[in-house]
Amino acid sequence: MAGLGRNDVDVAELYDPFSFEIIRQLEAFRFCAEGEAAGFVLDGHISPDATLPVTTDGGVLSFSHPGASAQMLQRVIRAAQQLRGTCATNQVSGAEVAFVSNGGAGALFSDVLLLGADHVVAVGKSRSVGGSRANADASSSTPANALSSVPSPPATSATAATSGSEVGEAVISDPQAWLAPQPQGIAPTMTNPVSAPLWEGAAAGELRYQFCEACEIPVMDPQPACPQCLVQSLAWRISEGLGEIESYSVVWRAPLPRLEVPYAPAIVRLDEGYSMLTNITGCQVGDLAVGKRVTVHFAEIDGATLPYFAPSEHTDQQR
């Protein structure tokens, strides 16, 4: 990237609206190896006079949370002050290169700037692509057998899954790239008495959802009470596992090094009338479309069973 490496960065103004973000980004941008950022911070390496001064004005956690766009401007201003030597506090002596990051949408994307003393050295941006109603696919549904296996890529399919890419590398966008479940590295499922039936159902190959008999409405995510009438006796039902893509995004730059890209977070609208956040797998990126009919399937990852969805014509072919 512009002939500069991480060791050339004198100060880093990082996206920090949540306390874990500094640690996550130090690892995601490879300033630290995975698992080592917490120790890096605890040992004082991000102080203004240390190895990598980070967020030298205390960041938005000590200022405000003005929204992602205003935050980025705030960091750029602070970085410029560092490079010009005009900071009133915590001036990094001799700073010549500053790294600035911004993020959003649950860390699905990041923008980065590499600033020199009097110019922008480089700009990087993660990439996501989304669908719109105008592209809705009119595929019809097929009666459910929601318990299909994970679809496999056809022999001719490109398999572009890679682990996290480097900052500033060219954006990848291949419509033939195959969307597969993450092989590992998903955070463990945090089961509680309210959500336990959902996860027990997934382990048994069933997509379960709650239902309020009084209001006759489905409820998802698992709740202790009906969000409409507050009755606490919600029933559990088994979903047919059929629905359509309501919204999706394709992630081409991994927010964590252990994740493989591309992957496609999506909101799926089930035929029973509820929506859920999931991932679309078992197809190529180019197969994604808002309105596309999808069928649930289940993937075992690090001891958890997660409900994913695949285009219905693909899961039908697997049967």
Q: Which is nearer to Zn ion, 32 or 212 (CB)?
A: 212
Options 62-70, 81-89, 111-119, 229-237: segment touching Zn ion (CB under 5 A): 229-237
Cα–Cα dist 244/285, whole Å: 16
- The pair of structure tokens assigned to 218 is 């489905």
With beta carbons less than 8 A apart as the criterion, state whether 269 and 277 touch: no
**204 Cβ contact list (under 8 Å, min separation 6):** none
Cα–Cα dist 18/27, whole Å: 15
Could you say which of 171, 203, 204, 229 contacts Zn ion (CB under 5 A)?
Answer: 229
The dihedral region occupied by 19, where left means phi > 0, alpha psi between -120 and 50, and beta the remainder, is: alpha
Could you say which of 37, 212, 242, 285 contacts Zn ion (CB under 5 A)?
Answer: 212
Q: Which is nearer to Zn ion, 215 or 277 (CB)?
A: 215
Report how many residues bind Zn ion under the rule CB under 5 A: 6
Q: Is 215 in the site for Zn ion (CB under 5 A)?
A: yes
Q: Is 234 in the site for Zn ion (CB under 5 A)?
A: no
Q: Which is nearer to Zn ion, 159 or 228 (CB)?
A: 228
Q: Is 152 in the site for Zn ion (CB under 5 A)?
A: no
Q: Is 235 in the site for Zn ion (CB under 5 A)?
A: no
Options 52-60, 105-113, 218-226, 270-278: segment touching Zn ion (CB under 5 A): 218-226
Options 143-151, 168-176, 214-222, 271-279: segment touching Zn ion (CB under 5 A): 214-222
Q: Which is nearer to Zn ion, 33 or 229 (CB)?
A: 229
Q: Is 7 in the site for Zn ion (CB under 5 A)?
A: no
Neighbours of 156 (CB within 10 A): 6
- The pair of structure tokens assigned to 303 is 């001891």
User: In sequence order, what DSSP letters do the residues of 195-244 get, joined into one string?
Assistant: THHHHHHHHTT--EEEEETTTTEEE-S--SS-TTT--S--EEEE---EEE
Cα–Cα dist 14/28, whole Å: 11
Cα–Cα dist 253/108, whole Å: 8
What minimum distance in Å lies between the beta carbon of 237 and Zn ion? 14
Options 14-22, 47-55, 78-86, 205-213: segment touching Zn ion (CB under 5 A): 205-213
Q: Is 228 in the site for Zn ion (CB under 5 A)?
A: yes
Q: Which residues lie near Zn ion (CB under 5 A)?
A: 212, 214-215, 226, 228-229
